[in-house]
Amino acid sequence: MKDKGLTIVEVAISSIILSVIAGLLITAYMQGISIFQTADINSTLQGNARTAFNMLSLDLRKTSRNQIQIMQNNPFSGTDTIIYHLPRESAGMPVLTGDNTIDWNTSTITIGLDQIEPKRLVKDIDGVKTPITHNVKSIRFIDHTIDSALQLDELKVILNMEETGTAGKVYNLTYTCIINMRN
């Protein structure tokens, strides 16, 4: 009976095959992590954008075109700030004056990027800042004077979100919404 052992060539070929399989498994694992991170960051950015639009819509649907002022490219390039007033309300309904016009609140509301924390979108009511969302690269407010396709009472809001993941990869999301304001 002969003892059979492995030759050096068989060991070398087995090692090469195992190395190739290990390399493929590591590559697949790393790609899976990258795909997961991309999906996670995009999902977070979309959720933040939806939350921001919900908050913006609640106010901007109540205001009127003649109660807003859009300051473009201020204070950051490609970014707008919007200043507006809301109507006085009683039991959820606007208060009317003697001539049946809406009585507007004197509080000034400003929405724009925070100058201290530049990627944070804030709502400022008479100097009191409330964060709306983070990871904002820019925000644009566009009305009928800029885009003739919009109606007089429509406001297009374009929100550009940005987040940097691991290894310095930058993820971007642009979210657009048209908000119908009060006539």
Instruction: Name the more confident of 76 and 159.
Output: 159
- Structural domain contains residue 166: yes
Q: Could you list the residue range(s) of the whole structural domain that residue 65 is in? A: 38-180
- Structural domain contains residue 11: no
- Structural domain contains residue 2: no
Model pLDDT, residue 165: 85
Q: Which pLDDT tens digit goes with each residue over 89-135?
A: 887 788 888 888 888 888 899 999 888 887 899 999 988 999 999 99
At 75, the pLDDT band (50, 70, 90 cuts) reads low
Q: Which pLDDT tens digit goes with each residue over 10-33?
A: 899 999 999 999 999 999 999 998
- Number of other residues whose CB lies within 10 A of the CB of residue 51: 12
Which tokens belong to 130?
């409330």
Domain count along the chain: 1
- Structural domain contains residue 136: yes
Q: Which of 148, 99, 102, 107 is nearest to 127 (CA)?
A: 107
- Structural domain contains residue 14: no
Distance in angstroms (rounded) separating the CA atoms of residues 53 and 61: 11
Q: Which pLDDT tens digit goes with each residue over 125-172?
A: 988 999 999 999 999 999 988 889 999 999 999 999 999 888 788 999
